[in-house]
Structure formats: structure tokens, C-alpha cells
Amino acid sequence: MNLFEQGLYAGEFRHNLDAKKRLTVPSKWRFDGDEKALYLAFRNPCGCVTVYPPAMVEQLKAKLSSLKLGDQKAQRAVMKLFSGADQFTIDKNGRVNLSERLYQQTGISKEVVLVGGVDKFHLWEPERYEAYISAEDDEGDLSDVLNELGL
């Protein structure tokens, strides 16, 4: 069983965009059939790009399909989220090609830090990532979160 089937994206990787602004996804995060599987990428409010793999895309579709047409607040939020989103597959060489808009919004130009997020992964501009990781959290530190999870 590969890591995707287990639903696990873990680790930190650094890759450069190639001349066509394609990004290689770590081999540990790829699976057979990537060329046909739909991924979604969203601008994350914390300053990175969050990538949802096919299993998460299906869960998201199921959740969003239950939104009522009359719920204007929810409809507006979904419209804002998806208007800036990008959908893609991973090519046979393990590369993705995201929109220039996502790269610009998150400051990514050449080097990218890929960070596992259990069931999804994140793409960061290196300096933003370092600043985000080193920032003090008003709601506690890692030990508080681990304690809440019972770990």
C-alpha cells in the first residue's frame, strides 16, 4: 500500500520550478493513476498554496454539494474560494503546472517548499514558510496542540 492510499502527506521537501514553472511532486506523494486524478489547489489565507488530492476533492465536492442555493454567505465563500483555485493532474514525470496567479499571490517564484499536512500538502515560498513556522502562536505552541490530541 502506498502513502496516498494511507492518506498521508508527511515531510518537507524543497524543489525548484523548471523553466515552464512546473513543480515536481515528491515521489512519496505520488501514486499510479496521477495522470488521470484531479487535484485542487487553493490560496491559503496563511500565505501558501494548499493542494487537495483526489480523495479530499471528492470529500469537498460532497460537502459543498449540500450547500443551499439560498445560503448567500456560503455561496459567496465558495465562489471566492473556487474563483482563485486551480485544478490539475500530475504528469507522467511527477510534475504539476499551477496557475501564475497562485504563484504570484503566494510569492512563489523559483524555489518551493512542499510541506506535508497529513491528508493534503502545502506549497510555500521559502522565506514566507520560515517566517510562518518561526512566528509565535497566540493560541499556544506545539505541545499544547499535541496534548489536545492526546499525543
pLDDT at position 36 is: 86
Tell me the DSSP string of 15-65.
EE--TT-EEEPPGGG--TTTTT--EEEEE-TTSSEEEE-HHHHHHHHHHHT
The class that CATH gives domain 3-148 is alpha beta
Shortest CA distance to 53 belongs to which of 109, 116, 100? 116
pLDDT at position 68 is: 86
Structure confidence by residue, pLDDT tens digits, 82-102: 888 999 999 999 999 999 999
pLDDT at position 25 is: 93
Residues with pLDDT less than 50, the chain: 1-4, 6
Q: Per-domain residue ranges for the chain?
A: 3-148
pLDDT at position 3 is: 42
pLDDT at position 113 is: 97
Tell me the pairing of strands 12-16 and 86-88.
unpaired
- Residue written as cell 512566528? 135
pLDDT at position 112 is: 96
> Distance between CA 142 and CA 23 in Å, rounded?
30
| Sign of the four-CA dihedral 130, 102, 36, 17 | negative
